[in-house]
Structures are given as structure tokens and as C-alpha cells.
Amino acid sequence: MELLRNISQQPTNSNRMYEPNQPGSCELRRKRTEDHGHAPAEMSKIITDPATGKCYCRGKVLGKGGFAKCYEMTDLSTSKVYAAKIIPHTRVSKPHQREKIDREIELHRVLHHKHIVHFYHHFEDKDNIYILLEYCSRRSLAHILKARKVLTEPEVRYYLRQIVSGLKYLHEQEILHRDLKLGNFFVSESMELKVGDFGLAAKLEPAGNRRKTICGTPNYLSPEVLNKQGHGCESDVWALGCVMYTMLLGRPPFETTNLKETYRCIREARYALPSSLSPQAKQLISSLLAKTPEDRPHLDHILRHDFFSQGFVPERLPASCCHSAPEFHVSSPAKSFFKKAAAALFGGKRDKVKYYETLSDVRPCYLTPPSFSSPQDGRPPSPSAGRPVAPATEGLPPTTRDTIRLIVRGSLGSCSSSSECLEDSTTGSVAETITSVLRGCLENMPKADDIPNGTECSNLQWVTKWVDYSNKYGFGYQLSDHIVGVLFNNGTHMSLLADKKTVHYYAELGQCSVFSTSDVPEHFVGQVTVLKYFAHYMEENLMDGGDLVSQPDTHMPRLYLLQWLKSDRALMMLFNDGTFQVNFYHDHTKIILCTQREEYMLTYINEERVSSTFRLSSLLTSGCPADLRQRMEYSLNMLLQRCN
């Protein structure tokens, strides 16, 4: 009963919601009577500010709360429209009630941010207190969700980015919102989101002196608030997880038929994640709704999550999104041009390159072993004449040494460079070469507890950023030397060099056309425009995935993508020169296999984005820890599954 009493007695609590039937409101409503039981006097249509003499015309009701109503209100001298929160004095007659209104005004009036509802002015007369706020003509996310039932993932990314931006600003001002929910996210005429309603907001207190009052909307309360452990920034992050879940599924995560059961689910962090959600959405929701506050991500880290980096985020939304699901196109001022470009590019019969959106549970399974003999069978192969043995194999028995050499170097044949070897090759032969090398290493590598000493890797090229937009155009990526490439859905490839002036076009493996961005052949205009869009998007929105850098190449790009493959755990990319990269979603680790100076090198980028490079011959002699071996095994199996 104490818990119910604390929630219901907040003067600007969830009872003051502006939204109709918001999912997750689960409001604790009580019937209120007017002072002395009398009905309020009819409010005047024209309201005058006693201090300034300004007159306002009161319009339609925008929303209702427990202690206030929100009206559309127009300044008669300027015609500017506001959202006016009007609180009758009779509703805040007790000192503690008035203190809460004053605190809301003092906190809100100093806030200035594009994703925070702007506070303009406040005044009072003998009947009411008036707070003039920014007018958001599209109302709130609660209204939008009521009309839409659920939102698409790109829309959720769009709204969450703006919520996080506003919330980060609040936390930097040491202000907790404490009532984040769909009804408190207002949408402007231009579809910009604004965080509003600071009736429960409070200054952040030191950990030992935090507010322990249970307040907010029941379905969005965090476990620590329910357990009276106090409010911190982590409680707002928890509410953000509830908001994300509600937008994607149309109902809050802890909604049940009774409040007691809802609170039990919250305390246990027990909720369902339907299979309809993408793996990235599930991962982000799980981290936001971590039971322990310290396990939830900081706001700075949320937008770096794979849910944002691996999915399309629209730059703007049309107003039609308020009532119907959008059709997303590449964001550009020339939308009609993109439609024409896409039609010219992919119209008629589409000869799509093979790519895979998901790969079910990939388990370690090895095919026929490589054609060389194993060290244990006593029949070592004959070493190729004239080939020096890698330094890491000096001092080993001849049998082991020869096997290592064949694994890490022999598969390149007699070519002077890998590109020469692949000139007349196919994607399949490149993959087979990498498969043989990786499988041979795993089958002969001993177990070890520590990572061996690394080596320097000169100017390694690898993918630092990527975007999957294959539902419309193709797969884009940025290399460490700042070259941007796109493998289009029709199987062709374009690279934009680091100088942003030169384009290399590959109709098929080994056949390249070069032209300037200032003189694009007419039939390539559509693809070059899409290529530039990918480059701009990754530059503006994505961060690099590691600490390895390369020198820009303004002449001939060495690398271009042949094939890519996504599973529920990782992204695999295979390049023309045999470079092979796998990015793991859950911890952002990466492995890169490439050749340098006729020797295979393996680079591992850990969770902290710090890289280590090893000769494959070193791993064969000294082994590697289980976590790196598991990633290598998973990568091999992605290769084996790529054509299934």
C-alpha cells in the first residue's frame, strides 16, 4: 500500500499523461475532487499575463494529467502557438505540491537542446499557474504507436538516436528525467523528437544520498527504484529499454494483468524476446534491461551498438509515419533521382550476387583435409625448391617445418603476387584457398593458454566500417586506407579512392575501368551517386572498429569485395587478393587473415579495439588461447557454409 500511495501522490505523475491509452501506462488512477467538493469555475478563453499584459487565446485540449491540463495557446500579439500547461491553484494548495511545480519550472527553464521541449515562459493569475512550452503538432510517440501498433526498426533507430541525444544532455546537467515513456516524447511538425514533461525530474544526488521515492509509470520502473535503492542515470537507461521494446512490439516488456505480477517481473528482469526481433535488437534490449544497474550501457555506448551500426537509420521521417509504415529510400534531397537511378541500375531481370541475411547455428565441422601429409604420419611432403623457410620454423624437425610451410605459404602456388594468381580466378577459388589454409592451421595447431608474441604488419588493409543496404542497393564498406567500396546487388563493384575524386569500377574479377567523379559516364551516374551516399553515411555516422591504420592509396586499390555473408553471430567478408575478415557482433572482436611478403598473417582485434598480428607459422608452433581458436573455427565454418 505504501508503494501505491507514493506513486499516486506525485502531483505530476504518470496520472498526468497526455497520451490516450498509452501501452504500458498501467496508470494508478484515483478519483480527485475539487477543493471543498465544488466544480471549478469556467476558464476564460482569453488569458492575460498580469506581469506583462500579454493576452493569449486558449485553444483545444492537448492532454490531461492528474493535476493539470495541456492546451494549445496562441499569443494574440504574435500569433505564435504554444503548448500551455495549466495548473489550477486548487490542485497545488498544499506546500509540498506547490514545491514540486516550482522545482519543475526551475529545472526546465534552463534547458536548451534541440531534442528537449523548449521552455518559453511561465506566469500565474488568481486562478491558475501557466507554463508555456514548445508546441509539437505531431503530438507524442504514444499517439503514433496507438495508430501504428508497432514501429519498424529504422524508425526506432531514428527516434532512439534523438532520445539518447536529449537524455545525454540532461544527464550532463545532472538531471534525471525519472518518467521516460512514449507519452513524454513529443514530435514536432518536422518529425523531430523532443523529450518533455519534467514533473518528476530531479537533480542527480551522490550515490549514498539518492532519492528513494518510488515514482514514475509502473511498467517503466527499474528494479533498483522498486527496491528503494535510489535513482541514478541507470534508471533512465532502463526506461529507455522499455521504450525501445514497446515501440518494436506494441506493448511494454513487463506488462501483466496485475500490478503485483508486473513488479515481480521487473525485480527479476523477466520478460520475453520474440523471434520477430532482429538479433541486434534483442542484444541491445537485453543490455538496457540488465537487472544490475552497473551492467547497463552508458549513453555514449548505446549508439555504437550493432543495432545502429549494422542497420539503416533514416535522416528524416515523413509525416505519414504518424499513421502508416514508411517505405524507406536512400536519404537525399534528390529522392526522385534515386528512384530513377535504382530503376536504371536494377530494373528488369536482376542478376543478384549471392548474399545471405542469416546463417543458422554454425558448428565446427571439417571437410576433407588438405592434400598435404600430416606431421604424424611419417611421410613428409617434399619441400619446394628455392623457398626459404619462415624464421618461426627454424630449429623444428624437418617434417613439422615442411608441413607448416605448405600450410602458410604453399597454397599461393608459384605466383609472384596474390593478385596475379587471382587475375583469372573466381570467388570460389579464392575461398577454397583461404579455407585450405585456415583448416590446415586449426588441424595442426597445438592448444595454448597465452597469445604468442605479435609481429609488425606493414600497411594492413581491413574493413573499418560497413553498412548492409542490400534490401535496395548493396553492401558498402570503408577500408583502413579510407577507400570506400560497394558490392552492388547486380554483382558489380565500385571503389571510391581516398582522394574522393577517382572511381574504379569492376564488372567482373580482374576487369577494371577508371574514371573521375567529375566526368562520370552516363550509365554509371546512378551507381556513383549511391557510392557517394555510402561514403558520406559511414563518415558521418560510424566509428572505426580498431586501432590499425593504413596509408591512403591514391593510385590502384589493392582490395575489393568479392563476397560477404552474415550469420546470427558474425559478418564474413572475402576480398579479391585473398584477404578474409570476420567481425563478431556481440563483443566487436575481429580476425583478419591476409598475405604479406608471401606469408600468411592473422590479425586479432580485441574487445578494446586493440590489434595484435601473428604469423600463421607462429600460431602453428606455439598455438593460441581457446577464445581465438573458437573464432577461427567459427570463421572457417562460415567459409564452408558460404555456398550452402
Q: Is 587 among the catalytic positions?
A: no
Considering just the CA atoms, what is the radius of gyration of the chain in Å? Answer: 30
Pairing state between β 611-615 and 81-88: unpaired
Q: How many CA atoms lie within 13 A of 614 on its CB side?
A: 20
Q: Who contacts 256 (Cβ-Cβ below 8 Å, separation ≥6)?
A: 262, 265
CB–CB of 141/239 below 8 Å?
A: no
Cβ burial of 271 (10 Å; 0-12, 13-18, 19+) is: middle
CB–CB of 225/237 below 8 Å?
A: no
Is 85 marked within a binding site?
yes
> Catalytic one among 102, 179, 295, 351?
179
CB–CB of 320/326 below 8 Å?
A: yes
Residue with cell 537525399: 332
Q: Which three cell numbers stand for residue 516?
A: 573521375
The rounded distance, in Å, linking the Cα atoms of 494 and 385 is: 40
Residue with cell 590479425: 603
Query: What are the residues facing 511 on neighbouring strands?
Result: 508
Report the 10 Å Cβ neighbour count for 127: 15
Query: CA quadruple 563, 566, 567, 571: dihedral positive or negative?
Result: positive
SS3 for 283? helix
DSSP state of 592: E
Annotated binding site for ATP: 85
Annotated binding site: 85
* Catalytic residue IDs: 179
